[in-house]
Amino acid sequence: MTQHARGSAIALWVLLGLFVLRVVGQLLIAVGAGGFLPPWEEWYSGALAYPALFASQLLIILLYGLIARDLTRGSGAFARPRRRLGSTLIALGAVYFGVMVVRYVIRMTLYPPERWWGGTIPIVFHCVLASFLLVYGAYHWRSAPRPPAWRHPNVARMAHGAAWLLIAFGIGGWLTYQLAPTFLAYALDVRSAEYAVRIERGVTMTASDGVPLVSDVYHPVRAGATPTILVRIPFSNTVVNSLFASVVGRFWAERGYTTVIQGTRGRYQSGGRHYPLIDEQRDGRETLAWLRARPWFDGRLGMWGGSAFGHTQWVLADALPSPPTGRSALMVQVASTDFHGMFHPGGAFSLESALFWAVRSRGAEDDMPDGAALQRGFDGMPLIEADDRAAGDIPFFNDWVRHSERDAYWQAIDGNGRAALLQGPILLTAGWFDPFLPGQLADYVRIRREARSDVAAASRLVVGPWAHAVTVTLPGGVRTRHYRLESLAPTIPWFDRQLRSSGAGVQPDAPVRIYVMGANEWRDEQEWPLARARATPFYLRSGGRANSTSGDGQLATEAPAADEPADTFEADPRHPVPTRGGATLAPGGGVVRQNDVETRGDVLVYTTPPLTEDVEVTGPITATLYVATSAPHTDFTGKLVDVHRDGNAYNVSDGVLRRAYTPNANPAQAVPEEIEIVLWPTSMVFRRGHRIRLEVASSNFPRFDRNPNTGAPIATAVATAVATQAVHHGPRTPSRIVLPVVPRRR
């Protein structure tokens, strides 16, 4: 044996002995016999569950033992020198060792409680393993003769360059992952990290019916019992979702919050059947009971999430920890206590939103539907088979269609008065082009009026220029910060104030913050709706030819002094007015040019003259129309539009009303019925020189499903009828849209 081989063997045995000590130490703690050693958290990074980690450690000891034995004997497969193996091991060992040094620097730099030796046991022993590779690689490189030169040196250089590029790419990805919470904190301008994080993956609680609900738990190291942020996520466990959850979980845990990210039933890593919305109350309450039994839970609970996992918060509104034994705070985005109202606004069915959600979520894994599949569902009748045409039968889509009334099905989902029963403050984040907006605003109003006084005073509302969790591009290319950042930015300030601050009841900021479109600025308000807004009617006027923009429809602040001819149009369910933007869960929502729609003869268009000054409209909007129809059952739709100086028209708000009527053979001469269409609330400044427009039609498809106009059950109807619709306007029939006009501040 050469002197170098002997020295290498001794070094390998020493390194192996150190690693064995590490394995034995952690094993003693695992079996409860290591009270004299540093605690479990100091040994365990959480990358693998301990049984799997222990098995891998035994394999490493066996392999390294065989290597050290062969070098000691000077013979054996592992002792035969191979120079290229040596250079490869030296490269890998150097990268491995360097990565551990960087990891140590990150840990010591970002987390003050870790300085200078805290939590370094795993890092130190990774360095031991890296050193083993370096020593063993050096033995091979020095002991073996130099291999013959490559016959094609350029190819060799390219291969080496590609290998190092791949290594650099991998290290860059790993470093980005490690620092992602820090980058996120910088982008959000929140306080610095405090704690290192230990991740406990695959933590399972068993629901009362035996279904496993699986969580990843992010623990702030050396923080003791802490407030907990619970997210019950209804998405599949894709790489993107997992990375996002990991970054956000570490971001919160680094700032002192134990974070539990749990898959809802049939989603992420949890078992059971995925059926949206139905099981969340039971599973959520059992999860709360499970949390209360965890030693790291201190009685303070925050929850975060939007849409379906906003619903996972609302179902627990009356069961949250509350004084004197605990505290709670919620952050609900783009979700309300009224899923029935979202699916059936004005009595119609939100076909575009419902079919998109159903097709995406129908299987074991979320699957983003393509436009062609959705269009197949939209086309054709009956409505109940839209899912079959798009992708296949989806039971929960069928239930959403069948239960058009607010019956026991929706009662089980929406509950009764959850906003009034709320046990902790809530931050509601809504979007002007989100289908949940009216329900969210109603929730906020009810909280302020009926919830416990401290909860009402501390709750907050933010409404931005968003569709469903999507940043909307406003006319002129105006865009605010990305919605995902906006949804995360308030989390640390909000939870710090509500869960950590001793003066949580003191709320220095305004209770309402809204984005005013047109002016394109954020503004604080003291209430919703705004007390200073004035309900201002704009009356429908015409000579009976308001059809399309080429007609004579006007929108005026003066009511008609004399009867005017009614405006009529033919509503054919087989050729409905197409949706352009608006409030939908599907892609394509938001602000879209409307000019092509307004050329149709089945769209009535009423427009003001160019405005002589800016007009701000902020608040609820209603259109009161006097209508008659030849159909026993039909729809009327309204859409508020901003017409720019160049003639381009952009949607602001819309709504629908579906109901039965007394059919008339001649609707233009019939006695009309008064109806009220509730449009989406908004905040919009119509600029000087712009015009305010109201579109009236009988369809906005597929945002709302088509009404066959026959009076037959809509879910199963196949036959359709063309309806003659009439909108009357005169002194006794003052059809109008009522806008909440906010006086200009002088």
Report the percentage of the chain scoring pLDDT > 70: 96
- The closest alpha carbon to 311, from 344, 334, 288, belongs to 334
- The closest alpha carbon to 445, from 434, 454, 456, belongs to 456
The residues with which 230 forms a beta bridge, in sequence order, are 260, 303
Contact 259, 244 (CB under 8 A): no
pLDDT in tens, 578-622: 999 999 999 999 999 999 999 999 999 999 999 999 999 999 999
Q: Is the pLDDT of residue 156 over 70?
A: no
User: Taking residues 202-212, what's their average pLDDT?
Assistant: 96
At residue 113, the pLDDT reads 79
- How many Å apart are CA 345 and CA 11, to the nearest integer? 75
Average pLDDT of every residue of the chain: 92
- How many Å apart are CA 581 and CA 590, to the nearest integer? 5
More confident residue, 152 or 691: 691
Helices 239-253/153-188 angle, 10° precision: 50
At residue 159, the pLDDT reads 67
The confidence band for 47, taking pLDDT boundaries of 50, 70 and 90, is: low
At residue 117, the pLDDT reads 67
User: Phi and psi of 745, rounded to 5°?
Assistant: -85, 120
- How many Å apart are CA 539 and CA 206, to the nearest integer? 60
The confidence band for 363, taking pLDDT boundaries of 50, 70 and 90, is: confident
The confidence band for 257, taking pLDDT boundaries of 50, 70 and 90, is: very high
Radius of gyration for the chain, computed over Cα atoms and rounded to the nearest angstrom: 32
The confidence band for 118, taking pLDDT boundaries of 50, 70 and 90, is: low
The confidence band for 147, taking pLDDT boundaries of 50, 70 and 90, is: low
The residues with which 246 forms a beta bridge, in sequence order, are none
- The closest alpha carbon to 725, from 657, 589, 616, 627, belongs to 627
Amino acid sitting at position 358: A
* Catalytic member of 70, 338, 434, 496: 434
Domains in the chain: ranges and CATH: 3-148 (no CATH), 197-341+407-525 (3.40.50.1820), 350-402 (no CATH), 534-742 (2.60.120.260)
Q: Is the pLDDT of residue 507 over 60?
A: no
Q: Is the pLDDT of residue 164 over 90?
A: no
307 is catalytic: yes
pLDDT in tens, 535-553: 999 999 999 999 999 999 9
Q: Is the pLDDT of residue 641 over 50?
A: yes
At residue 364, the pLDDT reads 80
468 is catalytic: yes
* Catalytic member of 340, 468, 690, 729: 468
Tell me the CA distances in angstroms from 585 to 111, 131, 335, 353, 738, one per residue in order.
40, 54, 11, 5, 27
At residue 504, the pLDDT reads 46
At residue 155, the pLDDT reads 65
Three-state SS sequence of 55-113: HHHHHHHHHHHHHHHHHHHCCCCCCCCCHHHHHHHHHHHHHHHHHHHHHHHHHHHHCHH
- How many Å apart are CA 280 and CA 233, to the nearest integer? 11
pLDDT in tens, 278-317: 999 999 999 999 999 999 999 999 999 999 999 999 999 9
At residue 705, the pLDDT reads 98
- How many Å apart are CA 469 and CA 447, to the nearest integer? 23
More confident residue, 141 or 319: 319
More confident residue, 144 or 605: 605
* Catalytic member of 307, 487, 630, 735: 307
Rounded to two decimals, what is the model's pTM?
A: 0.90
Q: Which of 18-22, 391-395, 530-534 has the lowest mean pLDDT?
A: 18-22
Identify the sign of the CA torsion 36, 40, 43, 48. positive
Identify the sign of the CA torsion 26, 29, 30, 31. positive
407 is catalytic: no
pLDDT in tens, 420-461: 999 999 999 999 999 999 999 999 999 999 999 999 999 999
Q: Is the pLDDT of residue 152 over 70?
A: no
Report the percentage of the chain scoring pLDDT > 90: 76
The confidence band for 505, taking pLDDT boundaries of 50, 70 and 90, is: very low
At residue 149, the pLDDT reads 62
- The closest alpha carbon to 500, from 252, 730, 703, 130, belongs to 252
Burial bucket for residue 304 (CB in 10 Å: 0-12, 13-18, 19+):
buried
At residue 60, the pLDDT reads 92
Lookup result for tokens 């709302």: 704
